[in-house]
Amino acid sequence: MSPTFAARRAAAGIATVALLVPLAACGSDSGSKGAPKAGLTVLAAASLTDVFKTAGAAYEKSHPGTKITFSFAGSQELAAQVKQGAPADALVTADARTMDELSADTGTPTVIARNRLVIATPEGNPKKIDGLKDLADPALKVVLAAPEVPVGRYSRQILDAQKITVKSVSQEPNVRAVLSKVELGEADAGLVYRTDAATATGKVDAIDIPDAQNAIAEYPAATLKTSENAAAAEAFVKWLSSPEAQKILRDADFQQPGIRR
């Protein structure tokens, strides 16, 4: 091999390396920018299913790099998951009682919304149900959530206050299961949150319950002490009280949080 050819070959090799180095650097930088900065898992009450999907999308848009995964279930199921050490970053329940029972596992809770109950019936209200007293009719198939579920506890609270005895045909694990029974025509009526009935417009009718006979459900949110993304979890929980998040909740018919009692 001539000295001139060897020199040219070496120069070509150096030039190739010089071209590859910046390309490799660019590829590495691009990959880091595309990777999520924080992945959050939020345990949330089943009645928040629709509104939190909207809220989560809005949060991810305004916080690039943050990915939120929701796990929806009855509040009592979420509490069991927390006690069993399920990996999660934040918790939102449909009642203060459940959250209070987890005080050793959470940060300080903040109430982000309120809700009320309605009587859900199949579209058109075929049984002509007018109020709570009608649910005592033994000929009606009434479905309630189980008593350990917040909406089930609220349901029994308002029925007991009116001295109304209802023999439910089933006791469901969360409010969405109650709503589903009514939607499918497997029940003549069920007690659900107003916001849940609103998600099934055209499939169910919502019979209002007077305020004097109703119960107020509170939704506290808190970070979990086992979170591996504590700062990001705290930021999300704080955001839930922001004007942006509150508008999303209001648009879904949730009420102002007010002051926790």
The DSSP code sequence of 236-248 is HHHHTTSHHHHHH
Structure tokens given for 85: 């050490």
- Which pLDDT value is given to residue 102? 97
Report in angstroms the alpha-carbon separations of 123 from 51, 109, 183.
Answer: 23, 38, 8
- Which pLDDT value is given to residue 38? 77
pLDDT score of 37 more than 80: no
- Which pLDDT value is given to residue 63? 95
pLDDT (average), residues 54-68: 96
pLDDT (average), residues 25-31: 34
Distance of CA 113 to the CA centre of its chain: 12
Exposure string over 101-130, b if 16+ CB within 10 A, otherwise e = bbeebbbebbbbbbbbbbbbbbeebeeebe
**CB–CB of 77/54 below 8 Å?**
no
Structure tokens given for 124: 């058109």
Q: How far apart are CA 167 and CA 188, in angstroms?
A: 13
pLDDT (average), residues 6-13: 43
Residue 222, amino acid: A
pLDDT score of 20 more than 60: no
Q: What is the CATH number of domain 115-213?
A: 3.40.190.10
pLDDT score of 131 more than 50: yes
Question: What residue has token string 């006791």?
Answer: 171
CATH of 38-114+218-251, one of 3.40.190.10, 1.20.1630.10, 1.10.150.120, 3.90.76.10: 3.40.190.10
**CB–CB of 91/222 below 8 Å?**
yes
- Which pLDDT value is given to residue 144? 98
pLDDT (average), residues 23-29: 34
Ordered by start, the domain boundaries in the chain are 38-114+218-251, 115-213
pLDDT score of 34 more than 70: no
Q: What's the pLDDT band for 21 if we cut at 50, 70, 90?
A: very low
pLDDT (average), residues 99-125: 97
